[in-house]
Amino acid sequence: MKGIFLAGGAIFAMFFGAGNVVFPPILGETWPHAWPSAIGGFCLTGVLVPLLGLIAVVLLSGNSDSFFTPLGKVCAFLLQAAIMAIEGPFGIVPRCLNVAYGGCKAMAPSVPSWAFCGGACLCVGIMTVKKEHVVPFIGKFLTPIKLGFLSLLVIWGLSQATPYKGNSLVFSLSAFNEGILAGYQTYDLPGAIYFSSMAMGYLMTLKGNKSKKDLLVKGIAASCISALLLTIMYIAFICLGVQYSTFLVGVAPEDILPRIVELSLGRFSTYVYSLVIIIACLTTAVAAISVWTAFVTKILHFSKISYEKVLIASLCIAFVVSTLGFSGIVQFMQPVLQYMYPVLIGLTLVNLVRETRKIYRWKRALAPST
């Protein structure tokens, strides 16, 4: 059981990074009178869809390459390359650096972004250089710190907020649709494909996993634990956005959570919780750059370029892209996601149906004849 919770917590920690920290409070601030509609849309694409992706890869025994086989070799490779580029130094990692810098700015406004992002890249590189240790390191050390302090932030922030006294709650299709779009922009379905593969690789190393059935059960259980934690945190962060909505008008996206912390906890506590924001974002950056680097190293195996060299080059690219700022990176990612996500959702459903039918046929073959 300990391994299941560690894997589930690690998946949650890898998911809950830049977009996951930023988008829920934005939805709460934008739709304080229709936040349940926003939550519904956001959880649909930000929780349910990634959960299906996690389960699909679990059913494939953690083989992320098999997830794309219905497309054929060429299309599968091109789609994976596009996904990994955004997952790595051209999207998720620099976005994490920007949001983490928002936390740094709250406690040390004089630190320039280039200095922080450079130092953050160095830290990410150190934590990622041993790829086989990424999941246990995140699960054992980063997840408890991240989850504990985020929970305290939410509980204290909501307790100190003035109750929202706006219009009565209404259903809003616009809020629901915006929640769906924000859930897309977390980029968690592509992450689910590779994070699940990492978690399954970790579960395979544990004692007691004697059969494929054991791995499937434990993998699905870990996936559900991560989905539950995500749902709780998303609802809590949207509620924070609602309660502090009047104070967040005109605040830059990456500065919203530090602003809420400052309002609810005071200046001194801002220093502590800014560190939590940094940890939250860098945890996702570690996972994202790890899967990208492994992917590129696998492609370039014939050239004998080492994992470490690819990692260094990738972090340099992420540093350069981070200069676009959070909004610039989101604008770059959004059109790509609009075309990519429907394909990934279709692949998820195809794999779920295909692997479920295989299990059903296998059980029927083993069933005693009457």
In a domain, 362, yes or no: no
Indicate if the alpha-carbon torsion angle 133, 94, 28, 272 is positive or negative: positive
Question: In this predicted structure, what is the pLDDT of residue 179?
Answer: 92
CA dist 154 and 144 (Å) reads 15
CATH number for the domain including 154? Answer: 1.10.4160.10
CA dist 26 and 255 (Å) reads 11
Question: In this predicted structure, what is the pLDDT of residue 328?
Answer: 74
Question: In this predicted structure, what is the pLDDT of residue 363?
Answer: 65
Question: In this predicted structure, what is the pLDDT of residue 357?
Answer: 84
Question: In this predicted structure, what is the pLDDT of residue 19?
Answer: 67
Query: How many distinct structural domains can be found in the chain?
Result: 1
pTM value is 0.79
In a domain, 213, yes or no: yes
Per-residue pLDDT of the chain (370 residues; tens, 9 = 90+): 777 888 888 888 888 776 687 889 888 888 888 889 999 999 998 899 999 999 998 888 888 888 898 888 899 888 888 888 888 888 888 888 888 887 788 778 888 888 999 999 998 888 887 766 677 777 777 778 878 878 888 888 888 877 776 666 788 899 999 999 888 878 788 878 888 887 887 777 776 655 677 788 888 898 999 999 999 999 999 998 888 888 887 887 767 777 887 787 776 666 766 777 788 788 888 888 888 888 888 888 776 788 888 899 999 999 998 888 767 776 767 777 777 878 888 999 999 998 888 777 766 666 665 4
Q: Which helix (H) or strand (E) holds 64?
A: helix 64-67
Question: In this predicted structure, what is the pLDDT of residue 52?
Answer: 92
Question: In this predicted structure, what is the pLDDT of residue 208?
Answer: 61
Quick one: which of 178, 141, 140, 174 has its CA closest to 26? Answer: 178
In a domain, 361, yes or no: no
Write the Ramachandran bin of 325: left for phi over 0, alpha for psi from -120 to 50, otherwise beta. left
CA dist 259 and 25 (Å) reads 11
Domain with 135 in it: 2-356
In a domain, 367, yes or no: no
Question: In this predicted structure, what is the pLDDT of residue 167?
Answer: 65
Question: In this predicted structure, what is the pLDDT of residue 216?
Answer: 83
In a domain, 140, yes or no: yes
CA dist 183 and 171 (Å) reads 18
CA dist 173 and 176 (Å) reads 5
Question: In this predicted structure, what is the pLDDT of residue 229?
Answer: 92
CA dist 197 and 60 (Å) reads 9
Tokens of 164: 């929202």
Question: In this predicted structure, what is the pLDDT of residue 37?
Answer: 93
Question: In this predicted structure, what is the pLDDT of residue 122?
Answer: 92
Place of tokens 């200069």: 323
In a domain, 311, yes or no: yes
Three-state secondary-structure class, residue 336 = helix
CA dist 301 and 284 (Å) reads 26
- The Cα-based distances of 110 to 107, 113, 257, 359 in angstroms read 9, 9, 19, 58
CB 258 within 8 A of CB 103: yes
DSSP 8-state assignment for residue 140 = I
First to last CA, the chain: 37
Question: In this predicted structure, what is the pLDDT of residue 48?
Answer: 93
In a domain, 365, yes or no: no
CA dist 258 and 230 (Å) reads 20
Cβ of 64: how many Cβ atoms within 10 Å?
Answer: 21
- The Cα-based distances of 324 to 29, 228, 319 in angstroms read 24, 33, 10
CB 10 within 8 A of CB 224: no
DSSP 8-state assignment for residue 163 = P
Question: In this predicted structure, what is the pLDDT of residue 44?
Answer: 92
CB 156 within 8 A of CB 26: no
CB 223 within 8 A of CB 58: yes
In a domain, 368, yes or no: no
CA dist 34 and 173 (Å) reads 9
